């Protein structure tokens, strides 16, 4: 996969330059949106800017935000964390650094840094506005540190690397210090081998697994005490001494889950409407009167745990025994990413005995990838599948579902099966086999009076 990505980037570099040179503005915009980078202060970036045919392309290159295609996905976890920092919704602490204000969430900073955990419980305890007056603290460097806490990524001006390193040392962030040192060495070697190049921005890419593991601590702490089975056996466990500052309690089957509005509202439009638009803070948690309580119905606490871990980490462990229940809840709570995880789990168990039911499930929950995997499997066993009355009924139902369908109009399920039968056919024997499958399908269509 890495080699494939490198090949694409290598191909995009000259294509992007020639698009700028020849004045193809729409193509330039398409390449930028597809992941081609045009970063200032790099050789390739400056080459495109100075080689551009007109000013409109130069403005497009300079104004384009260097955000990857992955980060632009609405439901992507990295995008959510980026927007959580940028918009500061449901933030519970502000930092004032030499006149510049930064909104933040104590739960995120505590999960990512034991230094902040300690400070929030001692020197900064109870404070919603924290003023940092030390002359050596640079606001831009502090903002970069916050960016690293939230997204695992850091983009910092090369002139502020030392200030960032100093802050990282103060915050006891040994991993970040090591990353900065390694990146500085790479930049130095790069500049040494390319005379005339001036690199002004240093970027660290995120380690998603580490970020997810640390955010998982918030979900660990949200679990009711009576459901924390086996936590004492885990190494380096912080649950017992890790304050997370919850601001919402979800009560499920009598269990109280102490959670955070920032995560639930940011990840789910259902919870956003529930908590922001229509929620009246009636019941309050007795042990912590400042925390409102919402009772969730039609869901078991076991299934809610899966939802909660997905919201905090973008991952959850699913099994065939509960995946359909999680899928129904994910659909109700408007969590398309969790639905896709359920689809991946279901796809692993596609077989001749369940493929029709699996296809119906995929259609019902709009899981296009799972639906395609089902039709691909159907194509492989079509000669046995046409003998099942249920398959004929499914085809008739799919044909009837088309609004104003004419007699000779195509049926989506039939079209998809035909496509998979005919795809990747190369040898003569494969052509013979494909023709036999298509004939079996045509005979079934004729028997149910469907012409398509």
Mean of pLDDT values over 249-257: 94
Whether the predicted pLDDT of 265 surpasses 90: yes
**Could you tell me how many residues make up the chain?**
452
Tokens of 160: 């502020």
Please state the pTM of the whole predicted model.
0.78
Nearest 5 degrees, angle CA 101-CA 107-CA 109? 55
The residue to which tokens 């109280």 are assigned:
256
Using an 8 Å Cβ cutoff, are 57 and 25 in contact? Answer: yes
Rounded CA separation 32/251 (Å): 46
The rounded distance, in Å, linking the Cα atoms of 151 and 343 is 27
Report the alpha-carbon distance of residue 396 to residue 423 in Å, rounded: 24
Q: For residues 130 and 97, is the Cβ–Cβ distance under 8 A?
A: no
Q: Is 307's pLDDT higher than 90?
A: yes
| Domain chopping of the chain, boundaries | 2-66, 73-206, 211-340, 352-447
- Average confidence score pLDDT of the chain: 82
User: Which pLDDT does position 11 carry in this prediction?
Assistant: 40
73-206 is classed CATH 3.30.710.10:
yes
Name the CATH code of domain 211-340 (choices 3.30.710.10, 2.60.40.180, 3.30.420.40, 3.30.530.20).
3.30.710.10
Q: How confident is the model at residue 401 (pLDDT cuts 50, 70, 90)?
A: confident
The predicted model gives 408-425 an average pLDDT of 84
Residue 19 is predicted with a pLDDT of 64
pLDDT exceeds cutoff 90 at 61? no
Q: Which among 117, 104, 98, 175 has a CA at the least distance from the CA of 146?
A: 104
In 242-388, which residue ranges form alpha helices assigned H by DSSP?
Answer: 261-267, 269-272, 301-313, 323-332, 336-347, 355-364, 368-380, 382-385
Q: What is the pLDDT of residue 27?
A: 74
Using pLDDT thresholds of 50, 70 and 90, give the confidence band for residue 2: very low
Share of the chain above pLDDT 70, in %: 79
pLDDT digit string, tens, across residues 126-162: 899 999 998 888 999 999 999 999 999 888 888 888 9
Distance in angstroms (rounded) separating the CA atoms of residues 299 and 253: 8
| Distance (Å, whole) CA 296 – CA 167 | 42
Task: Give 335's Cβ-side CA count (13 Å radius).
Answer: 31
Angle between helices 336-347 and 355-364 (to 10 degrees): 170
The set of residues, in sequence order, having a beta carbon less than 8 Å from that of 397 and lying 6+ positions away, is none
Cα–Cα distance for residue pair 312/262, rounded to 1 Å? 10
Model pLDDT for residues 326-340, shown as the tens digit of each residue: 999 999 999 999 999
Residue with more model confidence, 60 or 120: 120
- What is the arithmetic mean of pLDDT over 15-42? 62
Closest CA to 129 of 165, 97, 171, 161: 97
Supply the pLDDT for residue 47. Answer: 56
pLDDT of res. 5: 31
3-state SS class at 202: strand
**What secondary structure letter does DSSP report for 73?**
-
Rounded to an integer, what distance in angstroms lies between the CA atom of residue 54 and that of residue 311? 46
Q: Is the dihedral of CA 435, 438, 442, 443 positive or negative?
A: positive
pLDDT for 192 beyond 90: no
Mean pLDDT of 62-83: 63
Buried b (16+ CB within 10 A) or exposed e, 54-79: eeebbebbeeeeeeeeebeeeebbbb
What is the average per-residue pLDDT within 226-240?
55
pLDDT band at 63 (very low <50, low <70, confident <90, very high): low
CA distance 79 to 206: 12
Question: Dihedral sign, CA of 113, 115, 118, 123?
Answer: negative
- Give Cα separations from 351 to 76, 115, 249, 369, 375 (angstroms): 31, 52, 41, 16, 12
Residue 71 in this model has a pLDDT that exceeds 80: no
Q: What are the Cα distances from residue 106, in Å, to 225, 241, 370, 448?
A: 22, 15, 39, 63
Backbone φ/ψ region at 357: left (φ over 0), alpha (ψ -120 to 50), beta = alpha
Predicted confidence band of residue 341 (pLDDT cuts 50, 70, 90)? very high
User: Would you say residue 236 has pLDDT above 90?
Assistant: no
Q: Give how far the C-alpha of residue 127 lies from the chain's centroid of Cα atoms, to the nearest Å.
A: 32
Give yes or no for residue 232 having a pLDDT over 50: no
Res 163 pLDDT > 60: yes
The answer to whether 105 and 260 have CB atoms below 8 angstroms apart is yes
Q: Give the per-residue pLDDT at 39.
A: 55
Helix (H) or strand (E) holding 56: helix 55-63
The per-residue pLDDT for 219 is 94
> For tokens 């398309």, what's the residue?
336
Domains 73-206 and 211-340 share a fold: yes
Residue 93 phi, psi (nearest 5): -150, 145
Q: How confident is the model at residue 44 (pLDDT cuts 50, 70, 90)?
A: low
Residue 281 has pLDDT above 60, yes or no: no
């Amino acid at each position: 996969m890495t080699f494939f990505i490198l090949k694409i980037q290598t191909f995009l570099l000259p294509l992007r330059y020639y698009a700028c040179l020849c004045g193809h503005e729409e193509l330039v915009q398409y390449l930028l949106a597809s992941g081609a980078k045009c970063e200032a202060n790099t050789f390739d970036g400056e080459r495109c800017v100075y080689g551009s045919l007109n000013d409109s392309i130069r403005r497009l290159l300079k104004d384009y935000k260097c955000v990857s295609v992955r980060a632009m996905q609405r439901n992507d976890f990295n995008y959510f964390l980026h927007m959580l920092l940028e918009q500061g919704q449901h933030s519970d602490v502000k930092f004032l650094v030499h006149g510049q204000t930064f909104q933040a969430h104590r739960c995120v900073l505590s999960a990512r840094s034991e230094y902040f955990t300690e400070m929030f419980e001692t020197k900064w305890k109870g404070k919603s506005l924290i003023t940092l007056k030390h002359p050596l603290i640079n606001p831009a460097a502090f903002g970069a540190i916050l960016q690293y806490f939230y997204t695992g990524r850091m983009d910092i001006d090369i002139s502020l690397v030392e200030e960032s390193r100093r802050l990282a040392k103060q915050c006891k962030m040994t991993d970040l210090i090591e990353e900065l040192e390694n990146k500085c060495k790479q930049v130095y070697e790069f500049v040494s081998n390319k005379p005339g190049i001036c690199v002004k921005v240093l970027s660290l890419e995120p380690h998603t697994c580490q970020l997810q593991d640390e955010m998982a601590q918030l979900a660990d702490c949200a679990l009711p005490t009576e459901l924390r089975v086996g936590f004492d056996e885990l190494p380096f466990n912080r649950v017992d001494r890790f304050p997370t500052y919850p601001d919402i309690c979800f009560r499920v089957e009598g269990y109280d889950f102490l959670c955070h509005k920032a995560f639930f509202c940011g990840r789910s439009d259902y919870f956003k409407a529930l908590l922001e638009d229509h929620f009246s803070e009636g019941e309050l948690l007795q042990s912590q009167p400042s925390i409102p309580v919402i009772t969730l119905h039609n869901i078991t606490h076991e299934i809610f745990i899966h939802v909660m871990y997905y919201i905090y980490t973008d991952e959850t462990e699913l099994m065939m025994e509960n995946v359909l229940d999680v899928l129904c809840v994910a659909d109700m709570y408007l969590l398309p990413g969790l639905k896709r995880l359920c689809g991946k789990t279901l796809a692993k168990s596609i077989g001749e005995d369940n493929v029709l039911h699996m296809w119906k499930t995929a259609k019902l929950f709009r899981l296009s990838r799972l639906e395609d995997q089902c039709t691909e499997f159907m194509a492989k066993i079509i000669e046995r599948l046409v003998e099942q009355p249920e398959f004929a009924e499914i085809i008739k139902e799919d044909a009837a579902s088309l609004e104003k369908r004419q007699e000779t109009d195509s049926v989506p399920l039939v079209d998809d099966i035909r496509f998979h039968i005919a795809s990747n056919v190369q040898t003569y024997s494969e052509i013979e086999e494909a023709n036999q499958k298509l004939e079996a399908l045509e005979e079934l269509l004729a028997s149910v009076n469907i012409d398509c």
